[in-house]
Structure 1
Amino acid sequence: MLNIVLFGPPGSGKGTQAKFLEEKYSTPQISTGDLFRFNLKNETELGKLAQSYMGKGQLVPDEVTTNMLVDHLDNNPNEHGYIFDGYPRTTAQAQELDKILAEKYNDDVTVTLALVVEDEILVERLLERGKTSGRADDVDVNIIRDRIKEYYEKTAIVAEHFKAQGKWVEIDGVGSIEDITNKLYAAIDAANVK
């Protein structure tokens, strides 16, 4: 199996690149945002539980997010592996992912890919996206900067987890889409040989 964890701040091109990776490696992208939207929209038990925290302005506990992921894996098996996008966001989630992959598939994370893009380029990209995305958080520079800052604060700790396992690869996320895609392919192929 090929299990890829995809990291990158808002505007780094993760969504675009995940589609190419899905196609090439037959590994579906599992986006935490999509899992939340599905569970909330369909009013599943996990969705209702998540909503109970969100309704109070609290963060949804790691356990709830992890259970959404496990539920998705159980209902959408794929023998080729997965692309994890937005999970793990904490060290506890990273440890849980290691455990889930070991217990369910007798496997582990193959590689963690982090798209690296300078903050000012991210801001430009998101403002540009905001012209057509309809997302309120893509048009306010202060909100964009807060999102980028929050990403770095949360990810720095998780990066250490994967660096310690020798599974952290940083990819320059600036350049043509094709160049970046080829860099990702090369990193994945190198990691998958080990």
Structure 2
Amino acid sequence: MRIVLVGPPGAGKGTQAQYLAKNLSIPHISTGDLFRANISQGTPLGKQAQEYMNAGRLVPDEVTIAMAEDRLAQSDTEHGFLLDGFPRNIGQAEALDRYLSDRGLALDAVLDLEVPEDEVVQRIAGRRICRKDSSHVFHVSNLPEQGVCDKCGGELYQRDDDQEETVRKRLEVYHSETEPIIDYYKAQDLVVTISALGKVDEVTQRAMAALGRSAAA
């Protein structure tokens, strides 16, 4: 299957992408991973992206699109892929359509993870990260008793990006730039919308059912 995953910040796209990709036996391709890989490997595209980032400027669509197309051309995508974070706007969606069409391919579905805005703010603004290991993530509703990471003892803190005001600004960007791709894909009858509320495995099962597949046990 060839799938695009969309949803607002805090919808759990990264987590769901990993589970869905595993269940569907297709590669999970995230924009963040593409940028990190190209920059760390010093590719021409990575160098271009780094220059823009060092200057505090947004990486232009053409660089992001080129990275995505380069990744989609790799052999492991032959039987499908799950895109997470790309396309991010109408221009990128049109570029993806052209890329696939030129190869006689097309998307099978666009999975839209739906979460109420207040829930998004509560999820992200309540998040606390371990300073020693950023993979250790907690929420204010369920912090360890001592107020420190119960895995390594590191201090827990709130990232600047997780401040409520910043979260609401991120949502505004999502509504203005990314949300329009949902209507774009609805016109192609590709959008499958599911609620992203509930436990991770419940959302995964919901998504698999919406895609017409059974989740692995």
Range into which the TM-score falls when normalised by the shorter chain: 0.7 to 0.9
- Which digits, 9 at most, give the CA deviation of each residue in 1:125-160, with x for residues without a partner? 113333444772454111111112211211222112
TM-score by length of 2: 0.79
Count of residue pairs the alignment pairs up = 188
TM-score by length of 1: 0.88
- Which digits, 9 at most, give the CA deviation of each residue in 1:65-111, with x for residues without a partner? 1110122123353332000111111111111111212223x211111
Identity score, percent: 41
Aligned partner (choices 149, 167, 174) of residue 144 of structure 1 = 167
Alignment of 1:1-194 (within 5 A): 2-104=1-103, 106-132=104-130, 133=137, 136-189=159-212
Q: Point out where structure 1 has 5 or more consecutive residues left out of the alignment.
A: none
Distance 1:168 1:139 in 2: 29
Q: Counterpart of 1:189 in 2: which secondary structure?
A: coil
Shift of 1:42: 2.1
Distance 1:135 1:159 in 2: 31
1:160 partner letter: D
Q: Counterpart of 2:19 in 1: which secondary structure?
A: helix
Structure 1 outlier segments of 4+, above 6 Å? none
C-alpha contact (below 8 Å) 2:4/2:83 kept by paired residues: yes
1:121 partner letter: E
Q: Which has the higher helix share?
A: 1
Give the number of the structure with larger relative contact order, counting CA–CA contacts within 8 Å between residues 6 or more apart: 1
Q: Counterpart of 2:212 in 1: which secondary structure?
A: helix
Shift of 1:174: 0.9
